[in-house]
Structure 1
Amino acid sequence: MRFASRILRSPRPFDPSLGNDIERRFYDENPALRALIRGAAGCSPYLADLLRQEETWFRSALDHPEMACRSELGDLARPLPDLGPRLRQAKRRVALMTALADLGGVWTLEQVTGWLTDLADAAITAALSPLIDAERTRGRLPGAAPMAGLSVLAMGKMGARELNYSSDIDLICLFDETQYDPSDYAEARAALIRITRKMAALLNDRTADGYVFRTDLRLRPDASVTPVCLSMEAAERYYESVGRTWERAAYIKARPAAGDIRAGQGFLDTLAPFVWRKHLDFAAIQDAHDMRLKIRKHKGLHGRALDGYDLKLGRGGIREIEFFTQTRQLIAGGRDPSLRCRGTVEALDRLAKAGWVPAETATALAGHYRAYREVEHRLQMIRDAQTHSLPTGPEGFDRLAAFMDMDPPDLKDMLGKRLEAVSSLTEDFFEPTKSNGGPPSDFGADMVEQWASYPALRSPRAVEIFGRLKPDLLTQLHRAARPEEALNQFDRFLRGLPAGVQVFSLFEANPQLVSLIVDICATSPALASYLSRNSSVLDAVIGGEFFVAWPGAAGLRTALSETLAAEADYERKLDTARRWAREWHFRVGVHHLRGLIDADEAACSYADLADAVLQSLLPVVSEEFAKKHGSVPGGRALVVAMGSLGAQRLNATSDLDLLVIYEAEAGADSDGGRPLAARLYYARLTQALVTALSAPMSEGRLYEVDMRLRPSGRQGPVATGWDSFQSYQRNEAWTWEHLALTRARAVAGPEVFCKRFEAFRVDLLVDMGQKDAVLADLDDMRRRLFEAKPGGLWNMKDGPGRLQDIELFAQSLTLLAGSPERGIAQQLEAADETELADVARLLRTLQTGMRLLTAGPFEPEAAGEGARAFLLRETGFATMDDLQGALIDQIDRAEARISAALAGARGAP
């Protein structure tokens, strides 16, 4: 569409005589275009000069301005004998068109900055190609790597395609050393350094034709001592060893702009773990805050007087918005890849959608950012100066106001309000937490004094951050129901932290976490101890989905499978699974602790989590195992959950009772490079699965695994053939093994195999339940169990009338009835044993709660007031005496009921 028909606005000419002089050259054009030209030239001597120089081209470009600019950039891709002048001509033409399209509202801000960025990309490429060819022609550049393996990374605004009107371009030049023979490395390095210097000079030098771009190469690693072009391996080594937060932030916007694009992208992919930390990185806030203060101090940026105010670096300016956005990206981008984008406005939108920034804040900051960039462009268009400073006197503001088609007082009012608004929106994010006072000075004084010696407080930075946290933290601990108990437990938590900067930064940026840790310390020593060893799980609390509805086993399986699929390395998959499961496990515990779910829901959630882990890891382990040993013809494996997992009732410390069943073609061996017979293949595959679940790694372990419920117990093979399993269960298994099958559940493996297992299980229970010896065998089992495991009052599992006793009795009733029910409540209620079901419910509620509170034996007095209050809330009793009395009574009733039912099996009258 013709340029003139798209004009929406025009500036007022500050210098009418200059504006009119240039307008007369276009007397035959559309009135709206003449007004735009008059205003642009009347405000900017630079644009007036460009209109004189490029009048002919500009007229020809008016019919299709985008096509004209594209043609200019396309011409740069062809060999040009007069490259320097031609580059400068392209710069003049694109600069002229973008300026008038910007001033006239013909192009959006993104289009304007996009064309300026495209020009920079094309200019660098045009400069590089002949320089590389020249070095090769002279025999100074060995090899034939594409673009000599040299990649130019655009940083800052160029990387984000946000170049301002008179912007410098920040570049990092790297070469892929792997594309050269080691013997050619030194020669290639020297040639590429020469090429980089000449490229920068070709763009940077001012001639009679002007300049192309001011080029800055100082963002490279350790710029004061390194050459202008260095190897990717050297750069990677630098960032991994001494890379700083500001350099991580810089790489958010990094983009391969010219040269070997593939190599450049490969380098950025390699650097991703440096930029995007796997844990939420709230320590970056303090780094950004410190950087802001250093900039203000160095530049003398204090106060808010508009005369000469630095719109980029000053308080409430452009850099504040960029720091706010990039710091949030650094914090969360390691966990949420959707936040890894280059553009500031786009990043604000994504942060809002992910819940990291309030939507109204993101919208407001994006609006201020766009407005600032328009003002910035007009400041630079006046004389093509790389400036961000507002005018210093009335004349300068009058010119800028005319350029903005505003009155000077309105312009100043608009800028003042925006600076104040941006400062208000961003300052609280960066400013350290302000204390609301503290507890009495003697509260825990001796203990608090010892904290300075703990590992978490070994660094000055950790001490500084914790010093700001401590008053509010101690205040909340002092308000706990039992302050000394809460303080003691927090002391254990702090003592167990291996490092403090990240955790303390996390607390400072998210005060709700301080309340959570105090709540945990006042209630659950086990959870607090777990946190000290796995503090990264706190990331999940503020990750946006911590308090959403439970996704169920299917949702968890999908989430974990997708997460693992994103990892290429097997060891990383296992570590990722551990980290993922740990966060969900912690979520269940916190929800239970805070009463968002009850013990029964918590038990189901822990089981859903284990199901998802098994279902997601089995194919991962199988695929890795097959790399060495191939697959077995007709082979398939089935993981069967036994015990509490089979019944879908786990607690916070449960291990997994599993057995593995397989089937394969008779006599078949695997077809891999190291073939194995089917029996050995599945035995080793099972061992690999157990290792994947239970081996300690950098992210801990997933579960302890118990396989003693397999046929023949510890003496039998870890994986059992399907035919052997069926035969054993029908002809050799003991009664206790049939009881165990009442809770067996196929949890991972081919669906058809799962269905066959369940059909067999149901048929077997019907057949085996006809045996007269079931109750007699159970009676004998009870006596041996009670002799081996005497239990105290608060041992919910072992002893007469307790969970194990009730569960075995329920299983025997299920076996006798040939019922498929697995859950203890369902088994008892199906047998009309509702009183026993009520006892089991109380015992299970207490056991699930106590396992959350402590991993060891539960002692009410030692557990603390918070723990006791939690158990009373869970069970509905008013006092611990009431709970203890009811517990004794119900255990006695359960023991009497079971003994009476088994009396006939002992031959009693």
Structure 2
Amino acid sequence: MTDFSARLTRSPHPYDRSSGDEVRVAFADLGPEVAGLMAGAAGCSPYLKSLMTREADWLRHALGQGPEAALDAEFARIEALALDGLGAGLRQAKRRIALLTALCDLGGVWPLEAVTAALTGLADRAVHLAMVRLVAEEIRRGKIPGATAEDAETAAGMVSLAMGKMGAGELNYSSDIDLICLFDESRYPGVEQEARATFIRVTRKMTALLSDLTGEGYVFRTDLRLRPDASVTPVCLSMAAAESYYESVGRTWERAAYIKARPCGGDLAAGERFLKTLTPFVWRKHLDFAAIQDAHDMRLRIREHRGLNGRVTVEGHNMKLGQGGIREIEFFTQTRQLIAGGRDPDLRDRTTVGGLAVLAEKGWVPPDVAAELATLYRAHRELEHRLQMVGDAQTHDMPVTAEGVARIAAFCGEDDAAFRAGLLERIARVDTLTDAFFAPGEAETGPELSEAAGKIVSGWIHYPALRSERAQAIFRRLRPQLLKQLHRAANPDEALRALDGFLAGLPAGVQIFSLFDSNPTLIELIIDIAGTSPSLARHLSRNAGVLDAVIGGSFWTAWPGTAALRADLARVLGEVADYEKKLDTARRWMKEWHFRVGVHHLRGLKDAFEAGKAYADLADAVVGALWPVVTAEFARKHGPMPGRGAVLIGMGSMGAQRLNAGSDLDLIMIYDAAGVEDSTGPKPLATRPYYARLTQGMVTALTAQMPEGRLYEVDMRLRPSGRQGPVATGWQSFTGYQEDEAWTWEHLALTRARVLAGEPELAAEVEAFRRDLLARKGKGDTVRADVAAMRERLQAAKPAKGSWEAKNGAGRLMDVELCAQMLALLGGSPARGVERQIGAGAAAGVSQPDQTALLDAYRLLWRLQCGTRLLTEGPLVMEDLGIGGRAFLLRETGETSAEALTARLETVTALADRVISGLMEG
């Protein structure tokens, strides 16, 4: 008793003093603090007074041993009950635990979470015991086909899912329990209907056992109406039928309900498997801002249906559904979880307070708002408990009389005036914190439009993204902000045309318009993109989901690098079981990071060289993470790689680790069969076709057009013998070819070769061979002449297209890169990057001024090329770029005008051309 009394921190005031005094005298032996607590409880709650009288002996013992030990002992008692004593035994447990939790709650011995956990713990055990005992009886009677006595412990494949507050472990004092009863039909092939009939019977008997009011009371009122299509479906249905329903017609409120869903009785493992199949339904892969409007509409319907839209008064206020009530906080939390929980599993907390905490930790809710809402939630829930404790009624309404309110104030240990003021303040505060999130303001009036602009804007209503009334309603609020931002653009008409192209390309609008509506800063970003990079805007219209990344994580933080990217993608792919879905997941992941690099470059957070490295890091991560996925899938069908395995090698810009927004990947595959002739899988293959098909599988994984698009274009023409050679080359063949048959251009290509993935020992040998070969082959007499001839052919095939051409033509990017590879080969240098390869020219007698001329040209041309590829997929036509695009390129190249940039390009390319020509002549 000392332990319990020492933990008391508060006590109600007895509203009915005579009832309170009666109990105080009866339990005086427990000491003044505990007797005072019980007097206050009895003086406010006739129900609690009746329980104290009925369970007096047990209560004395329970408080003496401590509330936690008493709770555990009561749980242990009911676990041993047989079916014929289960109903009475559970009702006795309900009385005792209701009394114990009430006293612990009222005295502040337990926090809210411990109170609701105790109530939920009883509900879990009651449901599970009722199910397994009733199923055991049906098995004994031979009513479940093929089931044995051992199957009773898992209810023969039947499971109850706890929904709502029970699922979250948050049952209130007089809660109904919301259950969905299912059975695993896969256990009953051919006899599913017979099994279903039995499980329906078990469900009805379980509901009666728990809900029926007898002389012993009741256990829990049980509600089965959250099941799929409850008006027409049986009380227990197969998991397959439930899954089919949610996939086809499941609604947002059902998604929200499943945030809290938890198996609580019967076959818990089967229940977990079922919930896992519903993950794509509950947790959408893209940020789901449309859920906000759904939740807002649901709130309004509930208020309207229950007549809760009037002025807030204490008398009669509904603490659950009314303005500023418990449901507002729950909706606020669940809706934000739905928005981003598909991308971040950490957000899938079943509890309201826990959900708020993780939302704050992840940046979705300001920490002070989350903390205040958690405090308000606890206060509301404790008041809800006292409303229910008065008469064990499932009510959420404040009393409608002043006397009734005074009783509740006393139950809370407060005087009437302070209680009223505090309650109204809390209700108003909840309303303030949550209402703006659900109910955005009316649309502003946008700026006036010119006739041409007005014609464009008036045509938006005909676009696919605006075909639904819901999309139109959201867009009406959004449009003035879009037009206001357009008005501030460097060239509003130009930005409007680009935005028009973006909107025209959207296949649907509700999601992205909701996203913009809830995140106004994105409007500024989209206008910036539309006004600068039509190419990026078109990409966005086809892949609007990439905007999730802007608000769904650390979009503006420092670049993580290859290792972190690869680990992250490997983790993401590891969470997906199906091979095709892994490939689609990789595409979605890559597009988000690719978009991030582009936006950072566009906004000046990265320059062209940092962007080039980031694009290469991203490609490295994709190739590195997909390699084990592809090889494992191939091995599943055809066995492990025969011999020593294979390596995938990046060539060209991929090998040099500098890509742009539109780069493809130059790859070759090398394998070492080590004398092994065949694989050993279910469908074995000879070694050569094995590696050829594995190579094709890897290329397909990278290039296939899937629902999320494609990853990269892949070019394998740099393999030995080019298009004529096998797609995968044996190690011995590769070394022999490079030693005896390869052309000088193939040795040039090898200067930038880099192993991306594969067997480590073979990778080390490839690199060692590359270094040795380059040191020897650069000493040949014909290297310069061969490269000069190659240069002449390239310039004839790909001349420069205009003065702003960065890639092709004399003294331009490909020309400088070709020269750099030649210098690396002549100098026997293993360097892959252009700058280091030019620096290696010193060993071949290249003067410092010539090196500087090449580097100046390369650096300017790379900035221009990398910027160009971000703005357009085609040739650079300065007049077509618009003000935004031109400003971006001028900023990137450090020039003040197009004329100045043109003059500088002519100067540096002409000088580079002269240097390259001289170097190739020797």
In the superposition, the TM-score normalised over structure 1's length comes to: 0.98
Q: Secondary structure at the match of 2:179?
A: strand
Look up the equivalent residue of 1:690 and give its one-letter code: V
The one of 816, 819, 822 aligned to 1:809: 819
Q: Secondary structure at the match of 2:397?
A: coil
- Structure 2 counterparts to residues 683-694 of structure 1, below 5 A: 683-694=692-703
Return the offset for 1:83.
Answer: 2.9
1:26 to 1:872, Cα distance in 2 relative to 1, 3 A: same
Q: Secondary structure at the match of 2:64?
A: coil
Q: Is the 8 A contact 2:643 2:675 kept in 1?
A: no
Task: For residues 538-573 of structure 1, give each alpha carbon's deviation from its aligned partner in whole angstroms, at most 9, with x where no partner exists.
Answer: 001111211111011111111111111111111111
Q: Secondary structure at the match of 2:552?
A: coil
Return the offset for 1:325.
Answer: 0.4
Task: For residues 781-805 of structure 1, give each alpha carbon's deviation from its aligned partner in whole angstroms, at most 9, with x where no partner exists.
Answer: 1211121112222221111111111
- Structure 2 counterparts to residues 727-738 of structure 1, below 5 A: 727-738=736-747
Q: Which residue in the other structure is 1:129 paired with?
A: 132
Q: Which residue in the other structure is 1:525 paired with?
A: 534
- Structure 2 counterparts to residues 800-839 of structure 1, below 5 A: 800-831=810-841, 832=848, 833-839=851-857
Q: Which residue in the other structure is 1:99 paired with?
A: 102
The one of 64, 69, 72 aligned to 2:71: 69
Q: Structure 1: how far apart are the matches of 2:806 and 2:414?
A: 78
Q: Structure 2: how far apart are the matches of 1:416 and 1:571?
A: 55
Q: Which residue in the other structure is 2:18 paired with?
A: 17
Return the offset for 1:731.
Answer: 1.1
Task: For residues 634-691 of structure 1, give each alpha carbon's deviation from its aligned partner in whole angstroms, at most 9, with x where no partner exists.
Answer: 3221111111111111000000011111112214321212222222221111111001
Look up the equivalent residue of 2:869 and give its one-letter code: R
Q: Secondary structure at the match of 1:315?
A: coil
Q: Structure 2: how far apart are the matches of 1:751 and 1:557?
A: 17
Q: Which residue in the other structure is 1:79 paired with?
A: 82
Q: Which residue in the other structure is 2:560 paired with?
A: 551
Q: Which residue in the other structure is 1:244 paired with?
A: 251
292-301 vs 143-152, greater mean Cα deviation? 143-152
1:638 to 1:733, Cα distance in 2 relative to 1, 3 A: same
Q: Does 1:235 align with 2:242?
A: yes
Task: For residues 383-434 of structure 1, give each alpha carbon's deviation from its aligned partner in whole angstroms, at most 9, with x where no partner exists.
Answer: 1111111222321222111111112111112112211211111112111254
Return the offset for 1:737.
Answer: 0.8
Q: Secondary structure at the match of 1:542?
A: helix
Return the offset for 1:633.
Answer: 4.5
Return the offset for 1:619.
Answer: 1.1
Q: Which residue in the other structure is 1:907 paired with?
A: none
The one of 784, 796, 811 aligned to 1:787: 796
Look up the equivalent residue of 1:590 and give its one-letter code: V
Q: Does 1:312 align with 2:313?
A: no
Return the offset for 1:473.
Answer: 0.7
Q: Secondary structure at the match of 2:494?
A: helix
Q: Structure 2: how far apart are the matches of 1:762 and 1:83?
A: 80
Q: Is the 8 A contact 1:579 1:699 kept in 2?
A: yes
Q: Structure 2: how far apart are the matches of 1:903 and 1:199?
A: 94
Q: Which residue in the other structure is 2:61 paired with?
A: 60
Q: Which residue in the other structure is 2:903 paired with?
A: 885
* Cα-Cα RMSD: 1.4
Q: Structure 2: how far apart are the matches of 1:51 and 1:401?
A: 22
The one of 844, 848, 867 aligned to 2:885: 867
Look up the equivalent residue of 2:872 and give its one-letter code: T
Q: Secondary structure at the match of 1:725?
A: helix
Return the offset for 1:260.
Answer: 1.6
Q: Which residue in the other structure is 1:897 paired with?
A: 915
64-73 vs 41-50, greater mean Cα deviation? 64-73
Q: Which residue in the other structure is 1:416 paired with?
A: 424
Unaligned 5+ residue runs, structure 2? Answer: 842-847
7-16 vs 363-372, greater mean Cα deviation? 7-16
Return the offset for 1:48.
Answer: 0.5
Look up the equivalent residue of 1:476 and give its one-letter code: Q
Q: Structure 2: how far apart are the matches of 1:530 and 1:577?
A: 17
- Structure 2 counterparts to residues 539-688 of structure 1, below 5 A: 539-688=548-697
The one of 323, 327, 330 aligned to 2:331: 323
Q: Structure 2: how far apart are the matches of 1:141 and 1:738?
A: 74
Q: Is the 8 A contact 2:291 2:339 kept in 1?
A: yes
Q: Is the 8 A contact 1:825 1:841 kept in 2?
A: no
Q: Is the 8 A contact 1:341 1:347 kept in 2?
A: yes
Q: Secondary structure at the match of 1:170?
A: strand
Q: Structure 1: how far apart are the matches of 2:839 and 2:913?
A: 17
Q: Secondary structure at the match of 1:864?
A: helix
Unaligned 5+ residue runs, structure 1? Answer: 905-909
Q: Structure 2: how far apart are the matches of 1:684 and 1:109?
A: 61
The one of 175, 179, 186 aligned to 1:171: 179
In the superposition, the TM-score normalised over structure 2's length comes to: 0.96
The one of 741, 751, 771 aligned to 1:742: 751
Q: Structure 2: how far apart are the matches of 1:136 and 1:764?
A: 76
- Structure 2 counterparts to residues 288-307 of structure 1, below 5 A: 288-302=295-309, 303-307=311-315
Q: Secondary structure at the match of 2:84?
A: coil
Task: For residues 173-231 of structure 1, give each alpha carbon's deviation from its aligned partner in whole angstroms, at most 9, with x where no partner exists.
Answer: 1111111132x222222222222122112222222222211111111111111111111
Q: Is the 8 A contact 1:829 1:837 kept in 2?
A: no
Q: Is the 8 A contact 2:287 2:343 kept in 1?
A: yes
317-326 vs 203-212, greater mean Cα deviation? 203-212
- Structure 2 counterparts to residues 337-486 of structure 1, below 5 A: 337-442=345-450, 444-486=453-495
Q: Is the 8 A contact 1:117 1:162 kept in 2?
A: yes
309-318 vs 58-67, greater mean Cα deviation? 58-67
**How many residue pairs get matched?**
903
Q: Structure 2: how far apart are the matches of 1:723 and 1:211?
A: 81
Q: Is the 8 A contact 2:290 2:511 kept in 1?
A: yes
Q: Secondary structure at the match of 2:709?
A: coil
Q: Is the 8 A contact 2:83 2:133 kept in 1?
A: no
Q: Structure 1: how far apart are the matches of 2:538 and 2:641?
A: 45
Q: Which residue in the other structure is 1:282 paired with?
A: 289
Q: Which residue in the other structure is 2:223 paired with?
A: 216
1:406 to 1:134, Cα distance in 2 relative to 1, 3 A: same
Q: Secondary structure at the match of 2:30?
A: coil
Q: Which residue in the other structure is 1:113 paired with?
A: 116
